[in-house]
Amino acid sequence: MTAPWWKGAVVYQIYPRSFCDADGDGIGDLPGVRSKLDYVSALGPDAVWLSPIHPSPNKDFGYDVSDYGDVAAEMGGMAAFDALLADMRGRGIRLILDEVLAHTSERHDWFAESLKGEEGRKNDWYVWADPKDDGGPPNNWLSVFGGPAWSYHPARRKYYFHKFLKSQPKLNWRDPAARAAALDVLRFWLKKGVDGFRLDVANSFLHDDKLRDNPPIPPNLRSAHHWAHAPNMQKRIHDSNLPENRKVLDEVRAVVEGFDERFVFGEFSEEPGLIGEFVGQTHGLQSGYTFTFLDDRSYSPAIFAAYYRFLKDRPHVWPCVTFSNHDVARTVSRFGGGKQDDALAKSALTLLMSLKGTVLMYQGEELGLGNGAIAQDEVRDPVGELYFPYSKGRDPARTPMPWVRDAAHAGFSTAKPWLPVDARHAERAANVQEGDPDSVLNFTRALIAARRGIPALVTGDIEILEASEQVLAFNRILPEQTVLCVFNLSREPATFALPRMSSVSPFEFGPGGWGFGGPGLTLKPFGAFFGQQI
């Protein structure tokens, strides 16, 4: 049987506010995306994932939706969306929307109606609860953005639940009418012709209906990750991550698969072990990703090996694989200790294209960009406002794309951008890299094109062979093709004993940097070897 188009596809994530500004207001928009489709097409992805484009007060920059049935004016409105979709269709590029259905903006009409209580038609469309006798919140749930996950509203003399900002009230998927309305959002955009969805916090549609406290992570088990942010000290099993969340995802999938050749995958940012419950061949979403690689800062072979050994016991899971997105530090900054490093960028891109899964590649990774510089008065992200300078939040990963080195704002906009363009990024602008055959950009283009001709790297299974301190080795396997992949993920030379060396035919893919000698294979720093079993 032919695999579905999304299995092993390369999906290019565009954060529209920071991609390209066509109307000169300092904010990227859909006409700007449309103006760069030649660039996107030359890169070679199968699909584009657009971060949220709906109307929003932008307290969380589109992840607080005030109208699911329209496109934000600053993005160009619905006409700009229709034009972009048509142009992408003409180029054979599929379009995936980012849908945020676990919560809405407080400015959504649904929430305004819910504030009326029993006098309104949406009394239970959000999660409301009575205060404790002393006026305190109903339980110990904490917001991802700090403080209690409950805010009191005198209009109803109740608290409402918000897993994120207080301006992002949690939609109550336990209410049949609210659930039906959310599913209708998907139907609306599927009928418009989109090819699928990335579902924000797909682990968080349901909450514990008894509102039980989340248990603490025992102090002796807390790592730096837990101490970095107070909500991490709770095991998030009652405010989200309920096993019955799968039933909701089943319904979502049924809606999406009611249309031909559509794809739905989810973000599972907590309790990564639950991906086996929430993703499957016949249940849950078609695919999804955890933060296993996104949180990692070590670039250690053991991290990648452990993840795929975990999935070996869950063969029904086809994962998405990604090293960066709009929520985390960029790949070279996270893996490289904050330093710019093209050899590391090329190594990570090659590994990304070699692991089992549907590839999600964030804008700017193809340029080898690191985090952008952000001063305190330039912070826009609520996480950065909470923790600066200990953490600058997510803004450093969201700074604008550099298009033309010597243009104002590196060609992103003719006006002052909503976030600053890093001068170091301008030196790595697309127009500079276009003319350099050794650039990260041209490397990425060649990598994506070459991968299409190696079926095992696209849809093959994975068998981990070794994970030392330096070397990650695995086979990608199809009945008709087995490819051996060996990576030196360190800055020092490494060796690897090839299994049945005479039966492996080497071929060029990625950065190279290998040779035969001594006990077997030698690998230069960040080198990689690929060979087909013959």
**Nearest in space to 469 (alpha carbons), one of 432, 446, 452, 494:** 494
d(CA 485, CA 473): 6
**Nearest in space to 56 (alpha carbons), one of 120, 24, 18, 100:** 100
Q: Rounded to 10 degrees, what is the CA torsion of 374, 379, 385, 390?
A: 0
Phi, psi torsion values for 367, nearest 5 degrees: -100, 0
With contact defined as beta carbons under 8 Å apart, do 265 and 296 qualify?
A: no
Report the DSSP beta bridge partners of residue 47: 11, 94
Whether 251 sits among the annotated catalytic residues: the reply is yes
Which H/E stretch holds residue 461?
A: strand 461-467
Q: Which residues contact 325 (CB under 8 A, 6 or more apart)?
A: 13, 294, 360, 362, 397
Give one DSSP letter per residue of 152-172, joined into a string. EETTTTEEEE-SS-TTSPBB-
Q: 213: number of CA atoms within 13 Å, CB side?
A: 8
**Nearest in space to 357 (alpha carbons), one of 318, 326, 302, 385:** 318
Angle subtended by helix axes 176-192 and 245-257, to nearest 10 = 30
d(CA 158, CA 156): 5
DSSP state of 107: T
Phi, psi torsion values for 168, nearest 5 degrees: -125, 70
What b/e string do you get for 395-405 counting C-beta neighbours within 10 Å, with b at 16 or more?
Answer: bbbbbbbbbeb
CA distances to 309, 472, 495, 521 from 518, rounded to whole Å, are: 30, 19, 9, 8
Sheet holding 158-161, edge to edge: 128-129, 158-161, 150-153
Angle subtended by helix axes 440-451 and 342-352, to nearest 10 = 20
Q: Which of 113, 250, 251, 385 is catalytic?
A: 251
Q: Which residue has the tokens 């803004």?
A: 395
Q: Which of 21, 46, 106, 200 is catalytic?
A: 200
CA distances to 131, 249, 275, 285 from 324, rounded to whole Å, are: 40, 24, 19, 21
Count of residues in the chain = 534
For the chain, report the end-to-end CA distance as a whole number of angstroms.
24
Give the residue numbers annotated as catalytic, written as ranges: 200, 251
